[in-house]
Amino acid sequence: AGAVDLRELLAVSVLAAVRGGQEVKRVREGNVLNAKAKGKTREGAEEQLTSGDVLSNRRMFYLLKGAFPAVQINSEERVDTADQETVAWDRSIPEDIKQKIQPKEVPAESVTVWIDPLDATQEYTEDLRQYVTTMVCVAVNGKPVIGVIHKPFSSYTAWAMVDGGSNVKARASYNEKTPRIIVSRSHAGKVEQVARQTFGNKTVIIPAGGAGYKVLALLDVAEKNQEEADVYIHVTYIKKWDICAGNAVLRALGGHMTTLTGEEISYTGSDGNEGGLIASINMNHKALIEKLPDLEKTSHK
């Protein structure tokens, strides 16, 4: 199956996220979402599927597949083969990636690409545009090594490669006295109680949509539609394409994303992560986990 160059894979991942984002934005601005129910989440919330998801997915999937046919690609939406399109990649590598990243070859069979063509679909249907991202993640032997998070409505893109480089930094300072915890809009209340018990009454809870947005909140993002937080906590089952890119970016910058009990998440095999998650950067991650005795219990309810 041969080898693939991670620097090329990063370049095409950035392009895929941007191209997918263009579809997401076009559909939203034209107001032709054609939203329909895709089923229910485990918590019983309606899951929406819009033409933004579908068109972004098609664009992203075929761009990556055309550039790297030997690599396994896992995507949130099913790709309809009747809908196949050829999206050619000219193999050019953007200047900022060229300057920061060295070529690095890995065996094609060790690579799994995870794409999320539209993160925060619920918020997208509600026109809460700041939460929406498109994401690509490259895992090698199950470890996330390349992450791309793109915000289609502000054209902001964060990318990073483990042991490579990035175009984004961690934020410099955290206030341990009044930590800000970013959580899903749907379970802010559930996390709030535990967070206050754990970190004290001054804890600020920030409810937000989208896993991509929540990871960006931990970083130094030059973006006016982006809140800032110190810790990202998720207490229920979550899909790997939602979290892989953020996990890679955090790892590249020296941060951590683990299950609530501190286990690393493997990005091979099943597409779901059962153990909830906690993400932090520039903090003692282990100490955080030891402070969180009750969250693991709530994650299985």
Q: What angle do CA 76, 78, 79 make, to 5 degrees?
A: 120
Determine whether 121 is an active site residue: yes
Query: Residue 185 CB: number of other CB atoms within 10 A?
Result: 16
- Sort residue 56 into left (φ over 0), alpha (ψ -120 to 50) or beta: alpha
Nearest to 244 by CA among 275, 271, 282: 271
Query: Could you tell me how many residues make up the chain?
Result: 301
Furthest C-alpha separation in the chain: 56
**Residue from 53, 112, 198, 203 carrying the catalytic annotation:** 53
118 is in an annotated binding site: yes
Q: How far apart are CA 168 and CA 175, in angstroms?
A: 21
Question: Which ranges of the chain does DSSP label H, i.e. alpha helix?
Answer: 6-30, 51-67, 95-100, 121-125, 188-199, 211-216, 240-252, 285-291, 295-299
119 is in an annotated binding site: yes
Task: Confirm whether residue 271 is marked as ligand binding.
Answer: no
CB atoms within 10 A of CB 214: 29
Q: Are strands 72-75 and 36-40 parallel, antiparallel or unpaired?
A: unpaired
Residue in 50, 112, 121, 236 annotated catalytic: 121
Angle subtended at Cα 54 by Cα 48 and Cα 60, rounded to the nearest 5 degrees = 130
User: Is 220 annotated among the ligand-binding residues?
Assistant: no
Spatial CA neighbour of 62 closest among 43, 48, 75, 52: 75
Report whether 96 belongs to an annotated binding site. Answer: no
CA distances from 84 to 38, 54, 76 (A): 22, 12, 17
> Known catalytic residue: 86?
no
**Count of alpha carbons within 13 angstroms of residue 240, beta-carbon side:** 23
Known binding residues are 76, 116, 118-119, 242
Catalytic center residues = 53, 121
Known binding residues for Mg(2+) are 76, 116, 118-119, 242
